[in-house]
A and B are shown apart, each in its own frame.
Chain A
Amino acid sequence: MTRPVAVIGTGQTKYVSRRDDKNVPEIVREAGLRALADAGLKPSDVDAVVIGSAPEIFEGVNYPEDWIAPALGMCPGPVMRVHTGGTVGAATGIAGFYHVASGAYDTVLAVAYQKLSDGVPQYGLSACYDPLWDRDFACGAPALVGLQSRQYLDRHAPAVTEEHGAMVAVKNRRNALLNPYAQIRREITVADVMSSPPVAEPLKLLDCCPTSDGAAAMVIASEQTARKKCPRPAWFSGVGTCSESPYVPHVDMAYPESCVRAAQQAYQMAWIYEPARELDVAEVYEAFSFQELIWCEALGLCRPGEGGKLIESGRSDLDGALPVNTSGGVLSSNPIGASAMIRQVEAAMQVMGRAGEHQVDGVHRALAHSWGGAIQFSTVTIFSDEI
């Protein structure tokens, strides 16, 4: 086992398609200072910073942490940047966890950000493909997830249909109305989704996430500091990450092995045997609607093939037995490098009782999930209200 470590404060910026008022370091500072304020701390109370963001080509600055981290007010001081693709926000929170769990630092600020509007997001995504093999015909993320979604639907037809994806989008957009940070706060219907323009079959426009500017931050602390500063810390109870080789024919995108393994690792650490029963709320990284169902199955929140049943039953609704994406999810806000940390932040907020209007009652354990790369990286973080 390891030392008890907790999240004692969180901060987010309001997600928008373009922040016209602040540059990248200033947006990061905004989230960082909010997290510190939430924790009742000052920059000088922090021992180290971990910062994360997705490919540097999005903002066009190499080693961007050198430019950005000083805005957090803790330089000179230890700063490390994590970059693991789509999972980076969570990998940043996880690195922060290890900074404290190792005994090396007592209080760490973990921040993840992205300012997609400064560059050309789809170009940045296409640049992820190998120039030797795929870049000539790459078309960003929707194509890959379209493939994933089609694989998933075909495998489980007729139990899961395109309408089930639409229901996820409807649920999450409705949830976003209760999240003041969410970018898209506009209710939609299943008919709206089904009739929206096609993007990459079976994905239609309203099945897809937006691109956003924004940042999220967490203050991560040792037991001693957590007990002193926080009435209800969100203890890291399970942490798992897993990476898989990228060769698409090998990856079972409809039930990704890396997700199953990361979850197993986290559940083992958290002593969770029946996640569907023992978890109170979950935040999963659904950049595209069908992914919410795919992740719920791979995470064991429902049985394989029963994603359609899950969304139909209302179990994952805000007032259901296991609410999923009460924040509105990635479908409502997507500053790529921060999105995975937002899942952790939202899960931690639920445990801490600080989720405001979208707070679920009686949350003891919350799960945050993320994915990245060519559906090859997965992380699972579980927070608990007790050590």
Chain B
Amino acid sequence: MALKPPELTYMEGESRCDYNWTTGEVVGTFLAALRDHGKMLAGVCESCGQVAVPPTSYCESCGSEVSDLREVGPRGVVMSWARVADDFEGAPAEAPFRYVLVRPAGADTELLHVAPDDDGIRIGATVRPEFRPREQRGGAITDIRWFVPDGAESEGS
């Protein structure tokens, strides 16, 4: 008897899990500084001196300890950008928007964030962070709404 190909070739399913990630002290302090002070902190490596933002408790360059945090920015330079045209679930901003790698003044590394889809967002441009209103900040990297060209009018939140 010849077998018919099955109709049920697919089974749908979903994997959804809740998380409660421990941040550790350095990450926690950085996030708290965003929320409470509207400031960006960078980690200073006690061995090679690299100033890294956002900070980790270990230097990604030389592997030594990082416990000293210092303020950087607020202004920074765009080191790269990429334009997202279409919305997607979990997007950090409404499309179209740009991803940016921003090197805040005083830092040796770049922070990944977003920016408006504006011609002023180009490599070498100076940008500054626009924070969300204090009551909307929860201690997350998204407490910064985005980076806007320095000198640009705030578009209001």
- Direct contact between the two chains A and B in their complex (CB within 8 A): yes
Contact A20 B22 (CB under 8 A): yes
Q: Which residues of A contact B18 (CB under 8 A)?
A: 119-120
Q: Mark B46-87, 1 if CB is under 8 A from A, else 0.
A: 000000000011111011100000000000000000000000
Contact A131 B58 (CB under 8 A): no
Q: Is A41 an interface residue (CB 8 A)?
A: no
Chain B residue at smallest Cβ distance from A23: B24
CB interface residues, B 1-55, toward A, < 8 Å: 11, 13, 15, 17-25, 27
Contact B24 A60 (CB under 8 A): no
Contact A60 B19 (CB under 8 A): yes
Contact of A29 among B22, B25, B58 (CB under 8 A): B58
Contact A60 B58 (CB under 8 A): no
Chain B residue at smallest Cβ distance from A71: B58
Contact A127 B58 (CB under 8 A): no
Contact of A124 among B17, B20, B25 (CB under 8 A): B17
Q: Which residues of B contact A118 (CB under 8 A)?
A: 19-22
Contact B11 A131 (CB under 8 A): yes
Contact A26 B24 (CB under 8 A): yes
A-B contact count (CB 8 A): 65
Q: Is A274 an interface residue (CB 8 A)?
A: no
Contact B58 A23 (CB under 8 A): no
Interface size of B in residues (CB-CB distance below 8 Å): 21
Contact B17 A70 (CB under 8 A): no
Contact B13 A119 (CB under 8 A): no
Cα distance A59–B21 in the bound complex, in angstroms: 8
Knowing A57-B15, A57-B17 touch, does A22 contact B58 (C-beta < 8 A)?
no
Cα distance A74–B61 in the bound complex, in angstroms: 9
Interface size of A in residues (CB-CB distance below 8 Å): 31
Chain A residue at smallest Cβ distance from B21: A118
Q: Is A123 an interface residue (CB 8 A)?
A: yes
Contact A120 B57 (CB under 8 A): no
Q: Which residues of A contact B11 (CB under 8 A)?
A: 131-132
CB distance from B112 to the nearest CB of A (A): 14
Contact of A19 among B20, B22, B62 (CB under 8 A): B22
Cα distance A39–B103 in the bound complex, in angstroms: 39
CB interface residues, A 59-93, toward B, < 8 Å: 59-60, 70-75
Q: Which residues of A contact B58 (CB under 8 A)?
A: 25-26, 29, 70-71, 73
CB interface residues, A 290-307, toward B, < 8 Å: none
Cα distance A118–B17 in the bound complex, in angstroms: 11
Contact B60 A25 (CB under 8 A): no
Contact B22 A115 (CB under 8 A): yes
Q: Is A43 an interface residue (CB 8 A)?
A: yes
Contact A23 B13 (CB under 8 A): no
Contact of B17 among A23, A29, A123, A132 (CB under 8 A): A123
Cα distance A13–B17 in the bound complex, in angstroms: 26
CB interface residues, A 192-231, toward B, < 8 Å: none
Contact A75 B22 (CB under 8 A): no
Q: Is A17 an interface residue (CB 8 A)?
A: no
Cα distance A124–B15 in the bound complex, in angstroms: 10
Contact A43 B63 (CB under 8 A): yes
Knowing A74-B63, A75-B63, A131-B11 touch, does A119 contact B56 (C-beta < 8 A)?
no
Cα distance A132–B8 in the bound complex, in angstroms: 12
CB distance from B119 to the nearest CB of A (A): 34
Cα distance A25–B56 in the bound complex, in angstroms: 10
Contact of A21 among B17, B20, B24 (CB under 8 A): B24
CB distance from A383 to the nearest CB of B (A): 29
Q: Which residues of A contact B60 (CB under 8 A)?
A: 70, 75
Cα distance A119–B17 in the bound complex, in angstroms: 7
Name which of A23, A57, A123, A132 has the most chain B CB atoms within 10 A of its CB.
Answer: A23
Cα distance A124–B20 in the bound complex, in angstroms: 14
Q: Is A18 an interface residue (CB 8 A)?
A: yes
Contact A117 B22 (CB under 8 A): yes
Knowing A73-B64, A75-B63 touch, does A22 contact B24 (C-beta < 8 A)?
yes
Contact B57 A26 (CB under 8 A): yes
Q: Which residues of A contact B22 (CB under 8 A)?
A: 18-24, 115, 117-118
Q: Which residues of A contact B13 (CB under 8 A)?
A: 131, 135
Cα distance A118–B23 in the bound complex, in angstroms: 10
Name which of A19, A71, A127 has the most chain B CB atoms within 10 A of its CB.
Answer: A71
Contact A23 B21 (CB under 8 A): yes
Q: Mark A95-126, 1 if CB is under 8 A from B, else 0.
A: 00000000000000000000101111001100
A-B contact pairs, 12 of them (CB 8 A): A18-B22, A19-B22, A23-B21, A23-B22, A24-B22, A57-B15, A59-B19, A70-B58, A71-B56, A74-B63, A115-B22, A120-B17
A residues lining the B interface (CB < 8 Å): 18-26, 29, 43, 57, 59-60, 70-75, 115, 117-120, 123-124, 127, 131-132, 135
